[in-house]
Amino acid sequence: MATYFDVHPVDPQPRSIAQVVRLMEDGGVVAYPTDSGYALGCRMGNLDGLSRMRQIRGLDDKHHFTLLCKDFSQLGQLVHIPNSVFRAVKAATPGCYTFILPATSEVPRRLLHPKKRSVGVRIPDHRVAQALLAEVGEPIVTTTLMLPGDTEPMTDGWEVKERLDHQVDAVVDSGDAGREPTTVVDFSSGTPEVVRRGAGDPAPFE
């Protein structure tokens, strides 16, 4: 059964956040709220966690996970950001955007697009997600929590607990998950291409 954590949306309890991260460090997969709905997450080196997240979402091994970052400095260690796109990406973070950019050598090969050598990165504008990132001390491998057959990401912690009780190790509920997935902007070719419209305004990248 998943451990259920009821945390404050503005001041997440440090003890609860530390317990969630401890589960992640022990190889766990957690469901947690972000500014664009619930997400699944695990640590970067957790191969079993990646497999479990694919299984929960019904994804094949071609699916590309996103790296959730605490801040722009951490994001900059994972991807190459050309000067021509730096300002646009910086202005949109933190927020409901995922940016696909050429990856640096810091990113494990299994997380890269096999041809483009790119990876998706984002910085959430959500206190609980930020608290988890601060405690774990590294980017979190993540994917939107949208189950097979669903058309929208899950947004209610109790529903996540009921539906995934035996598939995840923890459910973090702060009662304030966003309602739409991120807007995805692909910069891997050097020019922006909006590949998914979501919560973030796509206009600056069109």
Bridge partners of 31, per DSSP, are 40, 171
State how many domains the chain has. 1
Q: Measured between alpha carbons, how far is 21 from 203 in angstroms, rounded to an integer?
A: 36
Specify the pLDDT at position 84. Answer: 84
The answer on pLDDT for 114 being more than 90 is no
Show the domain range for 54.
Answer: 3-205
Model-level pTM?
Answer: 0.95
Specify the pLDDT at position 152. Answer: 82
Q: What is the CATH number of the domain that holds 166?
A: 3.90.870.10
pLDDT, tens digit, for every residue of 31-89? 999 999 999 999 999 999 999 999 999 998 878 899 999 999 999 999 999 888 899 99
Q: Which residue's structure tokens are 């807007």? A: 183
Specify the pLDDT at position 64. Answer: 87
How many Cα neighbours within 13 Å face the side chain of 42? 19
Q: Measured between alpha carbons, how far is 58 from 46 in angstroms, rounded to an integer?
A: 18
Contact 123, 93 (CB under 8 A): yes
